[in-house]
Amino acid sequence: MKSNKAILANPIHLLAFGFGAGLSPKAPGTMGTVVAVLIYLVLPSMPPTIYVGLILLSFVFGIWICGKTAEDLGVHDHGGIVWDEFVGYWVTMFMAPSGLFWVLLGFVLFRLLDIFKPWPIKWADKELAGGLGIMLDDVLAGIMAALCMKALVVLTG
């Protein structure tokens, strides 16, 4: 396995490892999601079509960078690869209400679903290989977290 310095020196690995967040010795996925939250908070408000376009581009790009990094490291879905957490969290926050409560709720819901992996998240994680497998389970967790938030909005609305 490559050293942390070698991982950070490779631009593809640097992105896959969430600008270094994935190198955290404890809970790299959670640390990657923290970075995703910070990026989300500084993104300008944008129309839903632009936001979806950015998510799709990040997803397709993520399939490549995560797959390439996993291949280079010789480990399928290395725990330090957190670009998938970025995209999964951004999916969670698609059209979420504004406010810190929703940002934090999205974080908690996404992390719980990503950690416990109910069906179909677990299926994607186990059955799909390469970059697509790395990315898709987090996108599914993001979709499920977003649906939970939408349900809460409807129930409390």
pLDDT at 1 over 70: no
Burial degree of 6 (CB within 10 A; 0-12, 13-18, 19+): exposed
Residue 44: the pLDDT is 77
Q: What is the per-residue pLDDT for 148?
A: 97
- Contact present, 104 and 43 (Cβ < 8 Å): no
Mean pLDDT of 24-48: 94
* Whole-number Cα distances in Å, 6 to 69, 73, 78, 99: 12, 11, 15, 38
Across 43-52, 72-81, 142-151, which has the greatest mean pLDDT? 142-151
Kindly indicate the confidence band of residue 70, based on its pLDDT and cuts at 50, 70 and 90. very high
Model confidence at 53, in pLDDT bands (50, 70, 90)?
very high
- The model carries a pTM of 0.95
Q: For residue 25, give the amino acid letter.
A: P
What average pLDDT does the segment 72-79 reach? 88
Range 120-149 average pLDDT: 94
- pLDDT for 76 equals 82
Per-residue pLDDT tens digits for 10-22: 999 999 999 999 9
- Alpha-carbon gap, residue 40 to 149, rounded angstroms: 17
> How do residues 102-120 score in pLDDT, each as one tens digit?
999 999 999 999 999 999 9
**Cα angle value 107/105/87 (rounded, 5°):** 35
